[in-house]
């Protein structure tokens, strides 16, 4: 079994935030591959199904973004999975808008969700990093990631999410480099409009 976990914060208040793009990807997987209904388990909302013949668990931890690791560790223990069977999807401010990178291992780079996952699992899990861009100064980061995705950004964010879903057979086959390349082919980052000045967002 492969465990796909999307980072985000629970509840309607956060649903459209940049920080919740991981949840959005999980919802898109569930819809595209006809997963079973969402239900509550492992301090999360989970859905079970398969992608390209690979049994897959989708997780949206309800512990809040920064504490996601405990929920994922529960699921890992229950299904007797290894860290390499986990793929975390999350917003990455250190990548330009629309960029997408797969990575395995490494540090948290200031991401508290990844820090939590590492504390519970070690660092040998797979990471699907969805570029949201940086607001320009560290003091702006919290409001930026907890801000709603502006309407002007909806087309490229939607395209990136859909590309993650369409390329999923490569992901479940463990072909991370090919998966990354296919996501970027389906949703080219160079088609993303130039970033407007901070504070000029229209949600």
pTM of the model: 0.90
pLDDT bracket for residue 54 (50, 70, 90): very high
Mean pLDDT taken over the chain: 89
d(CA 76, CA 202): 40
Q: What is the pLDDT of residue 201?
A: 46
d(CA 36, CA 34): 7
Query: What's the CATH code, domain 2-191?
Result: 3.40.50.1470
d(CA 157, CA 89): 14
Domain spans of the chain, in order of start: 2-191
Residue 113 neighbours by CB under 8 Å, 6+ apart: 7, 65, 66, 68, 69, 88, 90
Instruction: Tell me which of 19, 120, 134, 137 is the catalytic residue.
Output: 19
Joined together, the tokens standing for residue 10 give 């629970």
Q: What is the pLDDT of residue 195?
A: 57
pLDDT at position 199 over 50: no
Q: Verify whether residue 19 is a known catalytic residue.
A: yes
Q: What is the pLDDT of residue 108?
A: 64
Q: What is the pLDDT of residues 113-123, one digit of tens each?
A: 888 988 888 88
């Amino acid at each position: 079994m492969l465990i796909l976990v999307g980072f985000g914060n629970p509840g309607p208040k956060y649903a459209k935030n940049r920080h919740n793009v991981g949840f959005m990807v999980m919802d898109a997987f569930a819809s595209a591959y006809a997963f079973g209904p969402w239900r509550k388990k492992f301090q999360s909302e989970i859905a079970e199904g398969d992608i390209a013949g690979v049994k897959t668990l989708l997780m949206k931890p309800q512990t809040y973004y920064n504490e996601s690791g405990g929920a994922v560790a529960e699921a890992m223990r229950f299904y007797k999975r290894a860290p390499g069977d986990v793929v975390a999807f999350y917003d990455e401010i250190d990548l330009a808008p629309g960029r997408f990178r797969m990575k395995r291992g490494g540090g948290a780079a200031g991401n508290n969700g990844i820090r939590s996952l590492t504390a519970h699992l070690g660092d040998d899990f797979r990471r699907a990093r969805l570029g949201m861009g940086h607001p320009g100064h560290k003091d702006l980061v919290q409001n930026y990631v907890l801000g709603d995705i502006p309407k002007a950004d909806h087309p490229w964010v939607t395209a990136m999410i859909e590309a993650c879903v369409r390329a999923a057979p490569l992901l479940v086959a463990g072909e991370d480099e090919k998966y990354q390349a296919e996501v970027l082919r389906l949703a080219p980052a160079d088609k993303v409009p130039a970033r407007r000045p901070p504070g000029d967002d229209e949600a």
